[in-house]
Amino acid sequence: MPAKPPRTIATITKISRLRKRIAEWRAAGESIALVPTMGALHEGHLTLVNRAKRKATRTVVSIFVNPGQFAPHEDLNTYPRDMAGDLGKLTTAGADLVWSPDVDEMYPQGFSTKIQAGSASDSLETEFRPHFFGGVTTVCCKLFNQVAPDFAVFGEKDYQQLCVIRQMVDDLDMGLKIVGVPTVRGRDGLALSSRNAYLSAEERQIAPTLNQTLKSLAEAASRGQRLGSAENRAKAQLIKAGFKSVDYIVVRDAETLGVWSVKSGRPGRALAAAWLDKTRLIDNIKV
Ligand code: PAF
């Protein structure tokens, strides 16, 4: 007899029901891992789900396109959404629950408390998206309070986000562990991202240059070349390849995201954000 397809994953949209389900699991002695997402799931997200499943007995995936982290001129309204596709992928991946509140459930009338992100948010993304980390830390704090997980799993693709969340959890004594998972890439090195869906065929050809350029920068930095010159060369390389502009391509301390030098003996991280016409791509690699 052919195997029965698995039942579609349960979806909860109200906090009261979520709390009830979590309390039942806790009463049964289960542990919980949360994978926070904004949906439009790809292989990278499914890798996070697999990691979550290895960390805890129950895996909750949140799907919430968070208005709090988009500036008015950004792509909130056009951000890719595919709930039916996401539910299918999460069912196959064997997650246990989708937590998908609407905006009014997450931010009811009168909501006004915000988390101010710590020093890991001081530069890089914040110089170009000043609203971003306040929105991310606030929604993640709410998600952590709602789901009360033992673990929350984040991709290294958004490396500064991972550092900022780790800092928030440490600074505010939040009782969960943050798990970082290496970036999933296409064969040509392009980091998987929901926003890759915006790229034209021609832009998709150029996009992997971001990863290649980060690799040359990381190599130059680890050989002790002058960072300023190596970073300028990397920027010029991206523009030559067809990027319209480069927000940053730099090497920083892998933990604090402050200044790094090879002499420090500390791990470094090469990070970049650059525009292919209207699409902003980010990526980072170890130094
Ligand atoms: O990385 C993301 O998808 C989002 O920033 C997150 C962590 C789900 C918060 O909205």
Predicted confidence (pLDDT) at residue 2 exceeds the cutoff of 90: no
Q: Beta 279-286 vs 268-276: how paired, if at all?
A: antiparallel
Distance from residue 52's CA to the centre of ligand 1 (Å): 16
What pLDDT shows up at residue 160?
Answer: 98
Q: Where are the domains of the chain?
A: 10-181, 194-286
Of all protein residues, the one whose alpha carbon is nearest to atom 8 of ligand 1 is 37
Domain 194-286 has CATH 3.40.50.12160: no
Q: Order of strands, edge to edge, in the sheet holding 245-253?
A: 245-253, 268-276, 279-286
Q: What share of the chain is helix, strand, coil (3-state, %, to 5)?
A: 45, 20, 35
pLDDT digits (tens, 9 = 90+) for 217-240: 999 999 999 999 999 999 999 999
Distance from residue 162's CA to the centre of ligand 1 (Å): 10
Mean pLDDT in the chain? 97
> What's the rounded mean pLDDT across residues 75-81?
93
| 42, 45, 73, 131: the active-site residue | 45
1-5, 29-33, 101-105, 170-174: which range is least confident on average? 1-5
**Using a 6 Å CB cutoff, which residues line ligand 1?**
36-38, 66, 69, 136, 139-140, 158, 161
Residue 216 C-alpha from the chain's centroid: 24
Express as a percent the part of the chain with pLDDT over 70. 99
Active-site residue flag, 131:
no
pLDDT digits (tens, 9 = 90+) for 153-178: 999 999 999 999 999 999 999 999 99
What pLDDT shows up at residue 3?
Answer: 73
Q: Give the model's confidence band at 283: pLDDT under 50 very low, under 70 low, under 90 confident, else very high.
A: very high
Fold held by 10-181: Rossmann fold (3.40.50)
Predicted confidence (pLDDT) at residue 6 exceeds the cutoff of 90: no
> What's the rounded mean pLDDT across residues 255-267?
96
Closest to 61 in 3D by CA, of 99, 26, 23: 99
Q: Best substitution site from 131, 146, 161, 193 to test ligand 1's pocket, by max atoms within 8 Å of Cβ?
A: 161
Of all protein residues, the one whose alpha carbon is nearest to atom 1 of ligand 1 is 37
What pLDDT shows up at residue 5?
Answer: 67
DSSP letter string over 207-271? Answer: TTHHHHHHHHHHHHHHTT--HHHHHHHHHHHHHHHT-SEEEEEEEEETTT-SB--GGG-S-EEEE
Distance from residue 102's CA to the centre of ligand 1 (Å): 15
Rounded to whole angstroms, the Cα distance separating 225 from 198 reads 36
